[in-house]
Structure 1
């Protein structure tokens, strides 16, 4: 049984209320943990990822002895204490060199966990180029190959969750200056980070150039710990209050335009009033026939009433 913490002060009460479930959740925080035997490459990789995730990043610079794949209780405690739903743990040993364990939480428990081996690593500081502004929302590009296996599908979903940042309604085109590309080559996941520059031209379409800024690395999937389909669906479930209410006879097309359908009663076009033009005037013969038929109709109604 989990211990129920009751606040004793008003600030403590506000602190606990801020951690309670909400209809619109806060931006996801990421916890970066340094292992007891992490080398310089692993430590630098953790710092580079933390720089991309700022300000929603918490970095543990002290050495922590743990094995997340075998026992995740200590990791779950750290994530719950720091209100972090994403995590990344770095370690290094002879059996698994340059090891990164990344994953996410649901209801303070492990949802997905991926053990990735890092190869061909080049940190941010090795690229002598202009860097991206602080807390820039990146664009994500995934090439073909991530739909091959369930592990690749789930790791693609994890990277989208890891790098997507805050949800925005409007996008400034000048702010689209960071691109993170993922590709699958020979069962390895290649991660590349680019700076996007737009060059003005006389034509309507401008030229776009990509300049690699780091970090640069390749991942080898070593071990995974995936959630079941039922648990994953429950984690992705949206509250009923946030689902848009359906309106009758109103639809939206692919481009977001709203189309409505109006239902009207059947009309008698013979009695429709039009413009009084000479060509549309009734002839005397038509008027005579119409007046002859009207008394017959009245007689029929009188007989039915009797």
Structure 2
């Protein structure tokens, strides 16, 4: 039989396992982030990459050498200091890419407190109407979720919720704050929650964007039929996978409400009640 062009047949078991890992799967592997320095990277961006790497470990790779790579290269001579480019790939091609300018940055080492454990799954909070109204920020929000959400797990314990990443869109800027969750004693079973800022802290301004077309973006979101759940009425999910249910209740008639069968709650006829009251109030006859 003639060999099929474009198909690489493994010659060893190790090569076979490697190719099997790269095959399409119903449930994909956890995405790894590549953090790459450009040819002219400032100290601010270098430290920012280190802090993002600390948040993403172990699902990230930090390249220390400089790479002459300019994804947004054009013919303009505008100076863009402290650039941070975040992107994602689909089918071995760049899908989405945004250029964020760092206007203010506070590193992990600027906050003198304890940090979260490596590999903690963060909780993501987005504030600001712009994330729901502006089309570019909608895609940026989706990119942040895809980048920071961490591995998909079936269960998580309360003590494992250690990090909160809070994104705020306001006045054309994006503010990222990182907090550590502190579980305090409350005198009951449920602990009292406090947030302590641990860094890093960013003030971003959105500069350039490169988003996929609507058709390609829809293609990247396509899921196999085995993962598609059957549609159920009055049940919906948000972008984080949280399930919400809507309950329709009939109008309640309180007169038909079942109560405990107590003597004081029993219905009595009006005539009997009057006679009983009169008999109780009339003087009793006594034998002389």
Q: How does 1:264-303 map to 2 (within 5 A)?
A: none
Structure 1 residues 123 and 256: alpha-carbon distance in aligned structure 2, compared to 1, 3 A threshold? closer
The answer for the alignment partner of 1:187 in structure 2 is: 172
The answer for the alignment partner of 1:173 in structure 2 is: 158
Equivalent-residue separation in structure 1 for 2:235 and 2:210 (angstroms): 39
TM-score, L = length of structure 1: 0.71
TM-score, L = length of structure 2: 0.75
Q: Describe the SS at the equivalent of 1:168.
A: coil
Q: How does 1:234-273 map to 2 (within 5 A)?
A: 234-245=219-230
The answer for the alignment partner of 2:83 in structure 1 is: 99
Aligned-pair CA distance for 1:5:
4.3
Aligned-pair CA distance for 1:3:
6.3
The answer for the alignment partner of 1:58 in structure 2 is: 61
Match status 1:154 vs 2:157? no
Equivalent-residue separation in structure 2 for 1:229 and 1:140 (angstroms): 25
Structure 1 residues 166 and 187: alpha-carbon distance in aligned structure 2, compared to 1, 3 A threshold? same
2:128–2:170 Cα contact (<8 Å) kept: no
Aligned-pair CA distance for 1:206:
3.9
The answer for the alignment partner of 1:87 in structure 2 is: none
Q: How does 1:72-151 map to 2 (within 5 A)?
A: 95-145=79-129, 146-151=131-136
Match for 1:32 among 32, 35, 38?
35
Equivalent-residue separation in structure 2 for 1:53 and 1:105 (angstroms): 17
Deviations 1:186-211 (A, max 9, x none): 10000000011122223566432111
Q: Describe the SS at the equivalent of 1:147.
A: helix
Q: Describe the SS at the equivalent of 2:202.
A: strand
Equivalent-residue separation in structure 2 for 1:94 and 1:210 (angstroms): 40
Aligned-pair CA distance for 1:169:
1.7
Deviations 1:8-27 (A, max 9, x none): 32211211221111111110
Structure with more relative contact order (C-alpha pairs < 8 Å, separation 6 or more): 2
Equivalent-residue separation in structure 2 for 1:206 and 1:54 (angstroms): 28
The answer for the alignment partner of 2:270 in structure 1 is: none
Equivalent-residue separation in structure 2 for 1:240 and 1:222 (angstroms): 38
Aligned-pair CA distance for 1:242:
1.4
CA RMSD in angstroms comes to: 2.4
Equivalent-residue separation in structure 1 for 2:244 and 2:169 (angstroms): 33
Structure 1 residues 119 and 30: alpha-carbon distance in aligned structure 2, compared to 1, 3 A threshold? same
2:53–2:62 Cα contact (<8 Å) kept: yes
Structure 1 residues 5 and 234: alpha-carbon distance in aligned structure 2, compared to 1, 3 A threshold? same
Equivalent-residue separation in structure 2 for 1:239 and 1:139 (angstroms): 27
